[in-house]
Amino acid sequence: MRKPLMAGNWKMFKTPEQTTAFFEKFLPLVEKSAHCEILVCAPFVDLPAAVIAAAGSSVGVGGQNLHWSTGDGAFTGEVSGPMLKAVGCRSVIIGHSERRQFFGETDATVLQRTKAALASGLQPVVCVGEMLADREAGKTNLVLETQLRGGVFSLTPEEFTAVVIAYEPVWAIGTGKTATPEIAADAHKFIREQIRAHYGDAAASSTRILYGGSVKPDNVKSLMAQPDIDGALVGGASLDPISFASIVNF
């Protein structure tokens, strides 16, 4: 009942020209892929090129961050939800661990940005995940619970229906160390239990929880075989159209 969502996170890669070239190769490889929703989250400057290239296809385009104000304002360097929406975005990544590590993102700002995304009509893909030290100290569930509570659990049940959660263990991002399907499955199960405790059975069974962290064409199948894994948030392997298409077509 949950349609898988395969999302690419391009991070700070590609120019508009390279974006157009990516879609030229990628779209024919996924035109029959109706089993899942497909999303490409590109740098801000590439969004218009991505939206134009993806027009008429089922591939959605998203941003990687947004400001928490939905109005215009004196916020140098920032981009708002209505701006993303105006350019044709469907979704936006929020609270990625790189934002948390390098740009001062907190659970409180994740919540504000998630509210702004919802108010702008964008699907928020909210990232949570533990650092290696948390896992080694046996604190994985505590970290996940804290991030969920601070970042999304004060949304109303109605607001929460639009939210996608991405579980990304920080130690698995860009390192080539994927969480084993069992490790990922445990974390996804825990996240779903938390959703059930806060929002009830219907929300728990309809919310999509994506896995992210070194997802590649050769490991996607075993991850997607886990009952609580509803898709992937793919960094490095989403930059190449052939590799991202083979992940989409797992």
Query: By the criterion CB under 6 A, which residues form the site for ligand PGA?
Result: 9, 168, 173-174, 212-215, 233-237
CB closer to ligand PGA, 81 vs 213: 213
168 catalytic? Reply is yes
CB closer to ligand PGA, 61 vs 173: 173
Q: What amino acid occupies position 123?
A: Q
Closest CB 24 distance from ligand PGA, rounded Å: 23
Letter string b/e over residues 222-243, b meaning 16 or more CB atoms within 10 A of that residue's CB: ebbebebbbbbbbbbbbbebeb
CB closer to ligand PGA, 160 vs 244: 244
158 catalytic? Reply is no
Closest CB 233 distance from ligand PGA, rounded Å: 5
> Would you tell me how many other CB atoms lie within 10 Å of the CB of residue 145?
18
Strands 5-9 and 164-167: unpaired
CB closer to ligand PGA, 9 vs 120: 9
Catalytic residue among 67, 96, 98, 188: 96
Closest CB 200 distance from ligand PGA, rounded Å: 29
Q: What is the number of the residue whose Cβ is closest to ligand PGA?
A: 235
CB closer to ligand PGA, 212 vs 231: 212
Closest CB 126 distance from ligand PGA, rounded Å: 12
CB closer to ligand PGA, 207 vs 214: 214
Give the contacts of 86 (CB within 8 A, at least 6 positions apart): none
Q: What amino acid occupies position 70?
A: T
Closest CB 36 distance from ligand PGA, rounded Å: 17
Q: Can you give the length of the chain in residues?
A: 250
Q: What amino acid occupies position 124?
A: P
Closest CB 98 distance from ligand PGA, rounded Å: 7
Question: Which residues sit opposite 249 in a β-bridge?
Answer: none
Report, in angstroms and rounded to the nearest whole number, the Rg of the chain calculated over CA atoms.
Answer: 17
**Looking at the annotation, which residues are catalytic?**
96, 168
